[in-house]
């Protein structure tokens, strides 16, 4: 008897994380202790199961790996295929990329951060759609760096006539597509057929800005009807869906009924955030609400959310996210136990995920790529490779930045009693609000959430809600 690595598994390693195992066209990635990984590699070398070359400890490891479905026993030796053989990537591990493959769009959204496709301000490189060859080059760079997962966005990603050529290139590179961000206008039978033909069902994450309010924000008539149809179609065809809700003065009162409708349409997740004054949003500043107004809307709505049976999983800004129907978390609350938290990473999200702008900048998140001041700090994949940038670049400096550097930049925060909860807040929000010029500036929203009592109000509210159940 011999050991065989399950057919859909591959051995992979990255700088500082050399003992990885991944599943073909899947989100699954795991890392093993070095001694377990060595035993696994030895077992994949056509050595008989009962060979004295395996120590008792290694045999124990291999038994566990077999029980976990990583190895299986065979009568004859089965060598690793070329795809399964160990591959070492020279760069740091990057799990996921959110990739904007176009700046073009078929809506006229009044709040678009990249002002696609028309622009209130002067034209920038964000307006230019990357060529197919540019996109294929980025796919090759992702493959060379060992990127596992991609989500596609725009503009409107589905507008590209070569959209499925990009999809095919990603799949050929063993990069799994988890999500397509869309306005829903082009989410139709043909689009879903094409994905099914390739054996994948990514989530369609579609904007929905309120019953009888959606068309106004999207800038053209008929979009609400189209996106409702798209949600319904995805539900019928078994494609998962999520949604984004941009909160402003005109759709506050539509929030409750809109969440209920989305739940009925099969939407599984919803993120709600207030209108951001960047890009086209500057022209509708009179529709914006303040942070205090936003937080009060959420505190008023949360009891209604539970009264309605928690129709979907919801995140309200960074201050509330339900867990099923009975529990919740506060996403912006870090809960760093160590009093001396100086060595904690300033942005944990950016350690595993990246955003690539239409003009090729690799930045930690969308808000940092949405403002010129933010983009200019970071590498561009037209002039450097992804793999090299994941070894030595300002991007790596930024994602490895520690709280001590933030505290040095904001001395008042170091002595704040909420420092271990706030931990510097959200760098993306800081970039969006401040134009990206000072990425270490204070996040006023998170600061005020704790300092002005909103955190305590939320805790009390949830205690009351749980007490009534």
Provide DSSP, 333-390: ------S--TTSBS-SGGGTEEEE-TT-BEESSHHHHSSHHHHTTS-BTTTS-HHHHT
| Angle ∠(210,211,216) on CA atoms, nearest 5 | 65
Q: 376-384: long-range contacts (C-beta < 8 A, 24 or more apart)? A: 376/436, 377/436, 377/439, 381/137, 381/138, 381/141, 381/356, 382/134
Helix (H, G, I), strand (E, B) or coil at 418: coil
Task: Give counts: helices (H), strands (E), the chain.
Answer: 19, 17
Q: What pLDDT is recorded for position 119?
A: 43
The model's pLDDT over 176-211, given as tens digits with 9 standing for 90+, comes to 999 999 999 999 999 999 999 999 999 999 999 999
**Tokens (6 digits) for 163:** 């959209």
pLDDT score recorded for residue 127: 57
Tokens 């009592």, residue located: 453
d(CA 391, CA 387): 7
Q: What is the mean pLDDT of residues 226-244?
A: 99
Q: pLDDT tens digits, residue range 277-304?
A: 888 999 999 999 999 999 999 999 999 9
pLDDT at residue 366 is higher than 70: yes
- Catalogue the E-assigned strands of 8-166: 9-15, 17-23, 29-31, 71-74, 87-92, 96-100, 149-153
* Predicted local confidence at residue 121, as pLDDT: 42
Under 8 Å between Cβ of 351 and 395: no
DSSP string, 224-271: HHHHHHHHHHHHHHT--EEEEEEE-TTTGGGHHHHHHHHHHTT--EEE
Quote the radius of gyration of the chain (alpha carbons, Å): 24
Q: How confident is the model over 14-32, as a mean pLDDT?
A: 97
Q: How confident is the model at residue 117 (pLDDT cuts 50, 70, 90)?
A: low
pLDDT digits (tens, 9 = 90+) for 58-113: 999 999 999 999 999 999 999 999 999 999 999 999 999 999 999 999 999 999 98
Q: Per residue in 439-450, pLDDT tens? A: 999 999 999 999
């Amino acid at each position: 008897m011999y050991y065989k690595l399950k057919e859909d598994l591959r051995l992979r390693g990255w700088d500082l994380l050399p003992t990885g195992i991944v599943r073909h066209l899947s989100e699954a990635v795991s890392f093993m202790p070095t001694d377990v990984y060595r035993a696994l590699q030895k077992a994949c070398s056509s050595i008989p199961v009962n060979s004295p070359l395996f120590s008792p400890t290694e045999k124990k490891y291999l038994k566990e790996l077999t029980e976990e479905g990583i190895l299986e026993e065979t009568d004859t030796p089965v060598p690793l295929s070329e795809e399964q053989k160990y591959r070492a990537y020279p760069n740091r591990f990057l799990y996921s990329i959110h990739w904007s493959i176009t700046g073009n769009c078929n809506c006229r959204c009044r709040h678009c951060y990249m002002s696609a496709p028309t622009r209130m301000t002067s034209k920038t490189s964000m307006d230019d759609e990357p060529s197919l060859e540019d996109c294929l080059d980025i796919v090759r760079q992702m493959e060379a760096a060992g990127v596992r997962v991609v989500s596609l966005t725009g503009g409107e990603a589905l507008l590209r006539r070569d959209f499925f050529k990009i999809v095919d290139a990603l799949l050929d590179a063993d990069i799994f597509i988890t999500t397509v961000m869309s306005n829903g206008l082009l989410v139709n039978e043909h689009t879903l057929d094409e994905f099914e033909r390739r054996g994948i069902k990514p989530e369609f994450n579609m904007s929905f800005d309120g019953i009888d309010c959606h068309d106004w924000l999207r800038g053209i008539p008929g979009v609400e009807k189209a996106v409702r149809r798209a949600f319904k179609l995805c539900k019928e065809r078994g494609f998962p869906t999520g949604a984004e809700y941009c909160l402003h003065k005109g759709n506050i009162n539509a929030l409750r009924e809109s969440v209920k409708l989305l739940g009925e349409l099969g939407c599984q997740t919803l993120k709600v955030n207030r209108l951001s004054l960047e890009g086209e949003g500057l022209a509708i500043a009179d529709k914006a609400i303040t942070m205090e107004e936003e937080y009060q809307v959420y505190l008023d709505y949360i009891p209604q959310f539970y009264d309605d049976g928690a129709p979907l999983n919801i995140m309200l800004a960074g201050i509330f996210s339900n867990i099923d129907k009975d529990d919740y978390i506060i996403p912006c609350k870090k809960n760093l136990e160590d009093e001396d938290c100086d060595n904690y990473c300033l942005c944990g999200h950016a350690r595993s995920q990246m955003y690539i702008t239409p003009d090729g900048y690799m930045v930690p998140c969308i808000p940092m790529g949405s403002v010129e001041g933010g983009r200019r700090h970071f590498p561009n994949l037209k002039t450097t490779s992804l793999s090299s940038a994941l070894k030595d670049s300002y991007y790596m400096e930024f994602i490895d930045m520690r709280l001590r550097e933030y505290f040095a930049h904001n001395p008042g925060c170091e002595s704040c009693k909420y420092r271990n909860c706030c931990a510097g807040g959200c760098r993306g929000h800081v970039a969006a609000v401040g134009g990206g010029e000072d990425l270490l500036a204070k996040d006023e929203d998170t600061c005020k959430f704790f300092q002005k009592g909103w955190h305590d109000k939320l805790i009390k509210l949830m205690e009351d809600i749980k007490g009534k159940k």
